[in-house]
Amino acid sequence: MISPKKYARPAKTIPKGYRTANEFFEYVFNDKDMIWMGQNTNHLHDENEIMDSMMQSIKKRDYNKYPPPEGFPELKELILEDLDLQNEFDILITAGGTESLYLCTNDILDPRDNTITCDPGYLIIDNFASRFGDHVKSVPIYNEECGYKLTPELVRENMDSKTKLVSLVDPLNPLGSSYTKAELKDFADLANDNDIYLLHDITYRDFATDHKLMAKYAPEHTVTVYSFSKIYGMAGMRIGAVIGVPDLIKSIKTIVINDLGTNVVAQRGAIAALRSKKKWLGHIKNTTRSNQDIIKQAVDQVEGAFMPVYPSQGNMMAIDLKNTGVKPLDISEYLLDRKIFTREGSYTSSRFGERYLRVSFSIPPEHVKYFAKCFIEGMGTLKKSV
């Protein structure tokens, strides 16, 4: 019998009444009344060019053919234009940001290398890095002193001669913290001086007030992970990209998984999304900003609860419940009974998961208001039983 590989894995707590995580997700996926605040997905797009383009692709039966293996050239050009990273960079289209992360860790790390990540953070990166490198150093960042993010100072304190990769999810899932220009320049100096690569996951960048690209400051030592899952509202289409200088992308291309190309319908939608971005981006950013204000007002009414990072620069935030006595899992199950899907902290933290509930808010305002009402009521009910 084959022994399961023992890599770092996010803790997927299965709610009561479900045998497996897949069974639970089938339930929340198929429930048309479920308010989706548990996976940072974006539900604010109306019927627009993105949908129309994908529908036209299906009607033309584009899916009968394999697309170009590295992605449609037009899509690649539009992504580089969106990031203002053009002539000096190359790009590979992938089946979502997760595949990009897998390819980057696989290509950059050797068995003797180690990786620095942060806790809380996106734990799938720890999983991938532990497969291809020697070990992962997950630095605790859940404190006000470091601004709830992995700082250059913390990396210097935790790196050694075998450190090869530093993961920067920016803005950070689940907290919504982000980096300043000065911090990115400091990371660039660190990377250049020590021949370390920076994995800059910018999945949530378009929700931020003022986001900067690591690739602008350390191009030779940065791989940028791009996703269409969040701001573009295309999570189920599984499409993303990885961007870097030509030598980096050339190396990554040697280990591609999808050697017959990425979902052709998703690529057509992605092209339309980039072409139409200026039409809808302002609406989505304004809505998410006002939505998190609604959540903040609700949290302020619960004694002991607070938001470590506010305002969030992403479309998600953490609500710290430690001083309320209520466990995140208990309030998440209370909300689930009221058709609101959220996530307890253990999904994004091995050390601090018992402290916070993570909620995303790129959903219609009326749904956020319903969440706020149920959260206040639920916390009141649960605190009585503590």
Q: What is the pLDDT along the chain (386 residues), one digit of tens a residue?
A: 666 666 666 556 777 788 888 999 999 999 999 999 999 999 999 999 999 999 999 999 999 999 999 999 999 999 999 999 987 999 999 999 999 999 999 999 999 999 999 999 999 999 999 999 999 999 999 999 999 999 999 999 999 999 999 999 999 999 999 999 999 999 999 999 999 999 999 999 999 999 999 999 999 999 999 999 999 999 999 999 999 999 999 999 999 988 999 999 999 999 999 999 999 999 999 999 999 999 999 999 999 999 999 999 999 999 999 999 999 999 999 999 999 999 999 999 999 999 999 999 999 999 999 999 999 999 999 998 87
Q: Is 278 left (phi over 0), alpha (psi -120 to 50) or beta?
A: alpha
Cβ–Cβ under 8 Å, residues 371 and 335: yes
Q: Is 36 in a helix, a strand, or coil? A: strand
Residue type at 32 in one-letter notation: K
Listed in order, the ranges of the chain carrying CATH 3.40.640.10 are 49-276
**70 residue type, one letter:** E
Residue of 374, 238, 368 whose CA lies nearest to 316: 368
DSSP β-bridge partners for residue 166: 116, 198
Tell how strand 240-244 and strand 222-227 pair up.
antiparallel
H helix or E strand, kind and range, residue 299 = helix 264-299
Superfamily of domain covering 21-46+277-385: Aspartate Aminotransferase, domain 1 (3.90.1150.10)
Nearest in space to 74 (alpha carbons), one of 228, 281, 275: 275
Domain with CATH 3.90.1150.10 in the chain: 21-46+277-385
Arch. (CATH architecture) of 49-276: 3-Layer(aba) Sandwich (3.40)
321, 310, 317: which is closest to 355 by C-alpha?
321
Residue 331 to residues 103, 276, 309, 339, 377, Cα–Cα distance (Å): 36, 39, 20, 12, 10
Token pair 């935030």: residue: 317
